[in-house]
Amino acid sequence: MTRTEFIDQLARVRDDFDWILKPCPNGTGGVRHHIRAVPKTAPRLVLDPLGALCFVRHHTPVRPSEWARAGEMLGLAAPGEIAAVANDQTWAGTGPRREPIEYLQKLRQRIENAVGLRADSGASGASPTLNPAPRDTP
């Protein structure tokens, strides 16, 4: 499965979940916003996009920390990239500075669009976060 096929399949099943941006401390005093899915049929589960698609296709909840297993179950060529963007890891350190990784940021935008967290125009979507907070810039 390619990234595009993965994103297309997420878009098809997006209504089976409540999609959220879950704020998580990044270890440097900032916050990363993890893309998470709460199945409407199992509201106690919180899954990442990989786990969400596994839940639909294989009826198996896969934790976000098991992204490699989820990628294998889905036959996904690059599960690490999907896991990185779902966890808001789209920046890289270059000495004392951090620079955006453009293709990862675009991939994250595509996933956010597919699940309804972001309007196609780039404006913030109507989907809730667990704890609304402004995005910090590294």
pLDDT one-digit tens code per residue, 11-45: 999 999 999 999 999 877 889 999 999 999 999 99
Residue 129 in any domain: the answer is no
Look at residue 109 and tell me if it is in a domain.
yes
pLDDT of 93: 81
Task: Give the per-residue pLDDT at 98.
Answer: 82
**pLDDT grade for 119, boundaries at 50, 70 and 90:** low
Contact 66, 42 (CB under 8 A): no
On whether residue 128 sits in a domain, the answer given is: no
Contacts 24+ apart (CB under 8 A), 68-75: 74/1, 74/6, 74/50, 75/1
Give ∠ CA 136-91-130 in degrees, rounded to 5: 45
Instruction: Please check whether residue 124 lies inside any domain of the structure.
Output: no
In a domain, 133, yes or no: no
Is residue 132 domain-resident? no
Report if residue 137 sits inside a domain.
no
Amino acid 94: pLDDT? 75
Q: How many domains does the chain have?
A: 1
Q: Tokens 């941006």 identify what position?
A: 21
Containing domain of residue 12, as a range?
3-115
Which residue in 138, 84, 129 sits closest to 111, CA to CA?
Answer: 84
Is residue 134, in this structure, part of any structural domain at all?
A: no
